[in-house]
A and B are shown apart, each in its own frame.
Chain A
Amino acid sequence: MASSTDSVKDIFGNAREIPDRDQRKRYLDEACAGDESLRAEVDRLLDALDSAGDFLGGSYSPATAQLPISERPGDTIGPYKLLQQIGEGGMGAVYMAEQTEPIERRVALKIIKPGMDTRQVIARFEAERQALAMMDHPNIARVLDAGVTDTGRPYFVMELVKGMPITEYCDLHHLTPRERLELFVPVCQAIQHAHQKGIIHRDIKPSNVLVAHYDDQPIPKIIDFGVAKAIDHRLTEKTLFTEFGQVLGTIEYMSPEQARLNQWDVDTRTDIYSLGVLLYELLIGETPFDRERLRSAAFDDLLRIIREEEPPRPSDRVSASHSLPTIAANRQLEPRKLTELMHGELDWIVMKALEKDRSRRYDTASKFAEDAQHYLHNEPVEACPPSASYRFRKFARRNKAVLATTMAIAASLILGIVGTSWQAIERGHEAERARAAEHLAREEAKRADAEAKKAKQERDRAMQAEQIADDQRAMAERQRAVAETQRAAAEASAKTSQAAVDYLVEMLGSFSIAKRGRAPTIDDVLTDLEAGIDDRFADEPLTKSVIQTVLGTVYAHRGQTELARSMLESAWEIRRQLLGDADETVQSGILLTSLPPGDDGLALAEEVLAMSIRVHRPSHPATWACRSTLARQYAYSGDNERALDMYQQVLRDRQGYFGENSPETRATQKNIGIVLLRLDRSDDALKVFNDVLQLRGPGGQERAGYADTLYDIAKCHIALGQTEKAESILLEVIERRRKLFGPGHRHVVPPVRRLAHLYVENNRRADAIAQLKKALELTKNAVGADDHYTVQLMYDLGLCHLDGDNYEAAIPPLRAAKNSPQFLRAIGSPLTPIGSTEVASQTTLRHQAYEAYLQLAIYSFENDEWATAGELLGGLTWLTDEPKEKVETELYRSMSLWHAGKHQAALQSYADVTNWMKDQDFDQVELSQLRSQASQLLNVEAATEGTSNDEEP
């Protein structure tokens, strides 16, 4: 058999190239020459090929297969005779060729490699041919012709340039940066010429900018105009996989707008970018992005780097380069000199061309050239260093979400720190202090006025009067001294604030993707801000405490209570130690005790209150704020009676000081209402809330606080079982909040959930589902699918369906909820039950979720929806503390995975759970049947699996 392989192969190969059946048969008769077994073998192969279909990827057109694949020197293509190959690139090979007619000359002929749609290439070239012909510039290699070779491949004919890539030329001749810049200027001018004719190059890179000597002068010549467009040099998924090598060769010069799949949104500024990269490389010998790094990055990552990452400035890049000595030597410079030379204007010029945002690059290539000339002539350049505020703007543009937080940070710094609230905002006492100061000032003014009048009346009367006036003058002097001291204190505090603001602006401005390889998130920003303060403010603890207060406030607003607590605790400690009894310390204490209850919230709140009484006096706005947070701590600890007493005392004090209708008094009243609700005194609560609503008056209806109070009123009606009233008010709250904050805002979610619960309780599941669905849609759009409010809605929607035994409908939302990173947080945020001090524990809430998912998973399991069951069971062990349930879940999961064909995962799950069981001390008898069922299915030894795994190295 082996001996006849060659003949079988040859005969088969020849035969299949004969399309005509009779001819083929004649050939076979002749070639096999009566050898029956040979003939049978060939016939079998020919039959097999006929029926081969797509076997192993299918056949390839014999037409292409029979043609020679590459042209060789000596071949003739149209009027051109190939002389020798002078280059080979990603797109194809370049030959020196001889043209015989109409004129005799040598040309460069570029034959594009196979795989392109030739007709389209030629069509695109023809479309630009007119424009290409109009280009006439000493630094542009003329494009003469394009056509199709006999093998069906497109080719381009260009003016022959006997040169080498500009970067190689410069290095070979050790040109100085100045000389390189001089060589670069005509390149820009040539590109400008092309742009004026409406032609964009799209593929500027060193190998397309050749330097040749004419009359002993180095002249740069740009080649390949029109080629990139004709061959549609666009990135697609296909090019990424099939032409990765070539893509890598050009990607470093690719502009951000080109670095997208299937994009063709380029304009003349695309060329400016590539020119910028070229200049970058000419000056410092390396491209803006590290080749090593680009090569090791995954494709989409690589494109993202080009699109988003700020490249380092040339001076930074070169000074960090390992090859600095060589690079500098090639430029006839000391390494240090090179770095110094780059620093400043050259950095700016290059970086201006490399802006991600096209509108910030040089408008035109000639502007770019001019700026390079400005530098050469020692004139001021147009490009300028990015200012801190510019960097900040840039950061802001890239990171809208992050910016929202930074704005919150800045706002809280400027406006003074606002405590997170329980229900209404416990107003930080900056506002109260301002109000108090104003009040005192007015009183003083009145008094002074009265005194002055009195003095005037008495002036004529007696010496005594003079004496009084003197006394008054002395008193005024003293007052001025006090004011002066206060002003100095305020200035010192302003200085601390200023240092804090400087820090924030600097940190935010310097945020870059380079640091992480991805766009920073809010969490990144906060983490970095937090990480930076210890070093930065080692000697300025008070400034540090300001930043910590800001961060703590932001964390608290984001619901990251523990992070908030650690920041605020530190600020409180710093101030307590350095400032002792002081207003700032009290402020820190108020913020800290405004957080949801910690271990010693009550004791701390009492301590802060005591301090406030020492610093201020028993009756002072700050002290009332302390009492208010203390009241809240009582409520948290379940002592609602005491909380109510304290709030009522605060209310009287605040009413006397701020008046009946002020934000502070309304806030206190609302808190009283909430405590009343918790005490199951819903009627009284309703009255309080209605009072608050009245106080707001006609103008207050459009404010957020109005909707808040309405919401509280709805809760009262719910507690009182007045469903219809509750429903209509909740609908109004939802409506108002959608209008106030936007349809998908998080604030809309709680009343929607509350309404949905109300519907479910009243057997109106369809209404509940409709409300939840609508809210889910809006919220998802506004804050994203992974926000924990969105996840809450998904979860509620799923539970609603589950409640109605509609498993199929329950699966998608519950699955989506569980797959979210915010799942645990979402299920742990229940609506507080109205009229009860009981808040369900996290354990209970988790177990509820566990039950729901288990129910759903069993349904899927029973219906052979293995993959779904496996997915639903994943991670459920975290939701229950019951060992048996944990084991049961995981065994079911391993079986589901196995049935779903995910054997690796199934075995892993089985091994994990059996290993875990070994260390557990509970009665496992009940589980043995399930376990053996699983072990049989997975075909593992139930008894030994765990141990044998352990013993293996």
Chain B
Amino acid sequence: MPDVTHILSQIESGDPSAAEQLLPLVYQELRELAAAKIAHEKPGHTLQATALVHEAYLRLVDAEKAQHWNSRGHFFGAAAEAMRRILVDRARRKKREKHGGDLHRVAWENLQVGVDAPPDQLLQLDECLTELAASDAQTAELVKLHCFAGLSIEQAAEQLSISARTAYRDWAYARAWLLSRLKQAESSGAEE
């Protein structure tokens, strides 16, 4: 198995093909981790996507070497994407299993990204996020890094090479934009 630390250092030294190898590896590891955690899930103990990402990082990356370069960001970029896919896949599967029936919902104000998020709502959020990415890729990436990889807004800012101030502004914008979009879709859906 190719070593993630090695791939990260390749990305660092400008090898564009290396980035493609990263995602499947991170995805694989995260999926296994998530499966293992979900299997041993204790009642009342919610599984945090961000904790998984951190654990994956520790398992995959030679932190000591990684400290010397800023490729940590590349890892979290890949992890955010991997985690997004895992959660979305899971939500789709759950939705299928339940036939769309007996699904619980939460108020949008209470929605958090995680394995226990209502599948339907998570999928809707993902759709809106894709839409946001079409018009404002950077803001969408910020949301992914924060919500799916657990980076703080400031860490995400660093990763996106934008100022923290901009990141906080973008974050507020993203929340407002996504929420208004979701509510809009909901009310138009209800009218049909």
* Known A-B contacts A2-B135, A295-B63; A44 and B172 likewise in contact (beta carbons under 8 Å): no
Taking a contact as CB atoms under 8 Å apart, the answer to whether B135 and A1 are in contact is yes
Taking a contact as CB atoms under 8 Å apart, the answer to whether B50 and A65 are in contact is no
Complex Cα distance, B179 from A51, in Å, reads 9
Q: Is A60 an interface residue (CB 8 A)?
A: yes
Determine the chain A residues whose CB is within 8 A of the CB of B72 once the complex forms.
245
The A interface, classified by DSSP as helix, strand, loop or mixed, is: helix
In the complex, which of the residues A5, A52, A296 contacts B59, with contact meaning CB atoms closer than 8 Å? Answer: A296
In the complex, which of the residues A49, A69, A244, A291 contacts B54, with contact meaning CB atoms closer than 8 Å? Answer: A244
Determine the chain A residues whose CB is within 8 A of the CB of B178 once the complex forms.
55-56
Q: Is B97 an interface residue (CB 8 A)?
A: yes
Q: Which residue of B lies closest to A6 (CB)?
A: B136
Complex Cα distance, B172 from A291, in Å, reads 40
Taking a contact as CB atoms under 8 Å apart, the answer to whether B179 and A48 are in contact is yes
Taking a contact as CB atoms under 8 Å apart, the answer to whether B176 and A46 are in contact is yes
Instruction: Determine how close the nearest CB of chain B comes to the CB of A395; give it in whole angstroms.
Output: 31
Q: Is B146 an interface residue (CB 8 A)?
A: yes
Taking a contact as CB atoms under 8 Å apart, the answer to whether B110 and A45 are in contact is no
Taking a contact as CB atoms under 8 Å apart, the answer to whether B51 and A241 are in contact is yes
Q: Is B108 an interface residue (CB 8 A)?
A: yes
Q: Per-residue CB proximity of A1-44 to B under 8 Å, as 1/0?
A: 11001000100110010000000000000000000000000001
Taking a contact as CB atoms under 8 Å apart, the answer to whether A939 and B99 are in contact is yes
Instruction: Determine how close the nearest CB of chain B comes to the CB of A484; give it in whole angstroms.
Output: 68
Determine the chain A residues whose CB is within 8 A of the CB of B115 once the complex forms.
none
Taking a contact as CB atoms under 8 Å apart, the answer to whether A245 and B176 are in contact is no
Q: Is B55 an interface residue (CB 8 A)?
A: yes
Q: Per-residue CB proximity of B89-103 to A under 8 Å, as 1/0?
A: 000001001010000
Determine the chain A residues whose CB is within 8 A of the CB of B97 once the complex forms.
903, 939
Q: Is A66 an interface residue (CB 8 A)?
A: yes
Determine the chain B residues whose CB is within 8 A of the CB of A295 once the complex forms.
58, 62-64
Q: Which of A47-68 contact B (CB under 8 A)?
A: 47-49, 51-57, 59-60, 62, 64-68
Taking a contact as CB atoms under 8 Å apart, the answer to whether A5 and B135 are in contact is yes
Q: Is B69 an interface residue (CB 8 A)?
A: no
The B interface, classified by DSSP as helix, strand, loop or mixed, is: helix
- A: number of interface residues (CB 8 Å): 42
Q: Is A172 an interface residue (CB 8 A)?
A: no
* Known A-B contacts A46-B176, A903-B97; A57 and B146 likewise in contact (beta carbons under 8 Å): yes
Determine the chain A residues whose CB is within 8 A of the CB of B170 once the complex forms.
9
In the complex, which of the residues A2, A59, A62, A291 contacts B175, with contact meaning CB atoms closer than 8 Å? Answer: A59
Q: Is A248 an interface residue (CB 8 A)?
A: yes
Taking a contact as CB atoms under 8 Å apart, the answer to whether A248 and B63 are in contact is yes
Select the stretch in B10-18, B79-87, B161-169 that faces chain A. Answer: B161-169
The number of A-B residue pairs with CB atoms under 8 Å apart is 115
Q: Which of B112-136 contact A (CB under 8 A)?
A: 112-113, 134-136
Instruction: Determine how close the nearest CB of chain A comes to the CB of B113; give it in whole angstroms.
Output: 7
Q: Per-residue CB proximity of B135-150 to A under 8 Å, as 1/0?
A: 1100100010011000
In the complex, which of the residues B107, B108, B154, B165 contacts A66, with contact meaning CB atoms closer than 8 Å? Answer: B165
Q: Which residue of A lies closest to B166 (CB)?
A: A13
Taking a contact as CB atoms under 8 Å apart, the answer to whether B168 and A245 are in contact is no
Taking a contact as CB atoms under 8 Å apart, the answer to whether A291 and B64 are in contact is yes
Determine the chain A residues whose CB is within 8 A of the CB of B67 once the complex forms.
245, 249
Q: Is A114 an interface residue (CB 8 A)?
A: yes
Determine the chain A residues whose CB is within 8 A of the CB of B180 once the complex forms.
44-45, 47-48
Complex Cα distance, B175 from A56, in Å, reads 7
Determine the chain B residues whose CB is within 8 A of the CB of A1 once the complex forms.
135
Complex Cα distance, B51 from A46, in Å, reads 32
Q: Which residue of B lies closest to A12 (CB)?
A: B173
Complex Cα distance, B175 from A182, in Å, reads 60
Q: Which residue of B lies closest to A249 (CB)?
A: B67
Taking a contact as CB atoms under 8 Å apart, the answer to whether B168 and A60 are in contact is yes
Taking a contact as CB atoms under 8 Å apart, the answer to whether B109 and A53 are in contact is yes
Taking a contact as CB atoms under 8 Å apart, the answer to whether A56 and B143 are in contact is yes
Taking a contact as CB atoms under 8 Å apart, the answer to whether B109 and A48 are in contact is no
Determine the chain B residues whose CB is within 8 A of the CB of A57 once the complex forms.
112-113, 146-147
Determine the chain A residues whose CB is within 8 A of the CB of B55 once the complex forms.
298
Instruction: Determine how close the nearest CB of chain A comes to the CB of B168; give it in whole angstroms.
Output: 3
Q: Is B153 an interface residue (CB 8 A)?
A: yes
Instruction: Determine how close the nearest CB of chain B comes to the CB of A611; give it in whole angstroms.
Output: 55
In the complex, which of the residues A54, A60, A67 contacts B109, with contact meaning CB atoms closer than 8 Å? Answer: A54
Taking a contact as CB atoms under 8 Å apart, the answer to whether A13 and B110 are in contact is no
Complex Cα distance, B190 from A555, in Å, reads 70
Q: Which residue of B lies closest to A49 (CB)?
A: B176
Taking a contact as CB atoms under 8 Å apart, the answer to whether A56 and B113 are in contact is yes
Determine the chain B residues whose CB is within 8 A of the CB of A44 once the complex forms.
180
Q: Is B105 an interface residue (CB 8 A)?
A: no
Complex Cα distance, B111 from A53, in Å, reads 9
Determine the chain A residues whose CB is within 8 A of the CB of B146 once the complex forms.
56-57
* Known A-B contacts A295-B58, A295-B63; A65 and B169 likewise in contact (beta carbons under 8 Å): yes
Complex Cα distance, B167 from A69, in Å, reads 11
Complex Cα distance, B57 from A48, in Å, reads 35
Determine the chain B residues whose CB is within 8 A of the CB of A903 once the complex forms.
94, 97
Determine the chain B residues whose CB is within 8 A of the CB of A13 once the complex forms.
169, 172-173
Complex Cα distance, B182 from A44, in Å, reads 12
Complex Cα distance, B177 from A55, in Å, reads 12
Instruction: Determine how close the nearest CB of chain B comes to the CB of A468; give it in whole angstroms.
Output: 88
Taking a contact as CB atoms under 8 Å apart, the answer to whether A69 and B63 are in contact is no
Complex Cα distance, B183 from A67, in Å, reads 32
Complex Cα distance, B173 from A52, in Å, reads 11
Taking a contact as CB atoms under 8 Å apart, the answer to whether A53 and B58 are in contact is no
* Known A-B contacts A5-B135, A9-B136, A47-B180; A55 and B169 likewise in contact (beta carbons under 8 Å): no
Complex Cα distance, B169 from A59, in Å, reads 10
Taking a contact as CB atoms under 8 Å apart, the answer to whether B173 and A9 are in contact is yes
Taking a contact as CB atoms under 8 Å apart, the answer to whether A296 and B179 are in contact is no
Q: Which residue of B lies closest to A1 (CB)?
A: B135
Complex Cα distance, B135 from A939, in Å, reads 40
Instruction: Determine how close the nearest CB of chain A comes to the CB of B117; give it in whole angstroms.
Output: 10
* Known A-B contacts A59-B175, A65-B168, A241-B54; A52 and B109 likewise in contact (beta carbons under 8 Å): yes
Complex Cα distance, B170 from A296, in Å, reads 36
Instruction: Determine how close the nearest CB of chain B comes to the CB of A664; give it in whole angstroms.
Output: 55
Q: Which residue of B lies closest to A240 (CB)?
A: B54
Determine the chain A residues whose CB is within 8 A of the CB of B173 once the complex forms.
9, 12-13, 45
Instruction: Determine how close the nearest CB of chain B comes to the CB of A300; give it in whole angstroms.
Output: 12
Taking a contact as CB atoms under 8 Å apart, the answer to whether B183 and A53 are in contact is no
Taking a contact as CB atoms under 8 Å apart, the answer to whether A245 and B109 are in contact is no
Taking a contact as CB atoms under 8 Å apart, the answer to whether A52 and B179 are in contact is yes
Instruction: Determine how close the nearest CB of chain A comes to the CB of B163; give it in whole angstroms.
Output: 8
Q: Per-residue CB proximity of A144-182 to B under 8 Å, as 1/0?
A: 000000000000000000000000000000000000000
Determine the chain A residues whose CB is within 8 A of the CB of B143 once the complex forms.
56
* Known A-B contacts A13-B173, A62-B168; A53 and B107 likewise in contact (beta carbons under 8 Å): yes
Q: Which residue of A lies closest to B147 (CB)?
A: A56
Determine the chain A residues whose CB is within 8 A of the CB of B50 once the complex forms.
241
Determine the chain B residues whose CB is within 8 A of the CB of A69 once the complex forms.
154, 163-165
Taking a contact as CB atoms under 8 Å apart, the answer to whether A52 and B168 are in contact is no
Taking a contact as CB atoms under 8 Å apart, the answer to whether B62 and A55 are in contact is no
Determine the chain B residues whose CB is within 8 A of the CB of A5 once the complex forms.
135-136
Determine the chain A residues whose CB is within 8 A of the CB of B154 once the complex forms.
69, 114
Q: Which of A1, A55, A114 has the most CB of B within 10 A?
A: A55
Q: Which residue of B lies closest to A297 (CB)?
A: B58
Determine the chain B residues whose CB is within 8 A of the CB of A248 once the complex forms.
58, 63-64
Q: Which residue of B lies closest to A70 (CB)?
A: B164
Determine the chain A residues whose CB is within 8 A of the CB of B163 once the complex forms.
69
Determine the chain B residues whose CB is within 8 A of the CB of A244 once the complex forms.
54, 57-58
Given contacts A48-B183, A56-B112, A245-B72, 6 further A-B contacts (CB under 8 A): A5-B136, A45-B177, A56-B175, A56-B178, A62-B168, A241-B50
Cβ contacts A to B, 24 pairs, < 8 Å: A1-B135, A2-B134, A2-B135, A12-B172, A12-B176, A48-B176, A48-B177, A51-B179, A52-B109, A52-B175, A52-B179, A55-B110, A56-B143, A59-B172, A62-B172, A65-B153, A65-B172, A68-B165, A69-B165, A114-B154, A241-B51, A245-B63, A295-B64, A296-B59
Q: 10 tightest CB-CB pairs across the interface, nearest first?
A: A53-B109, A65-B168, A48-B180, A49-B176, A45-B176, A69-B164, A13-B169, A48-B179, A48-B176, A2-B135
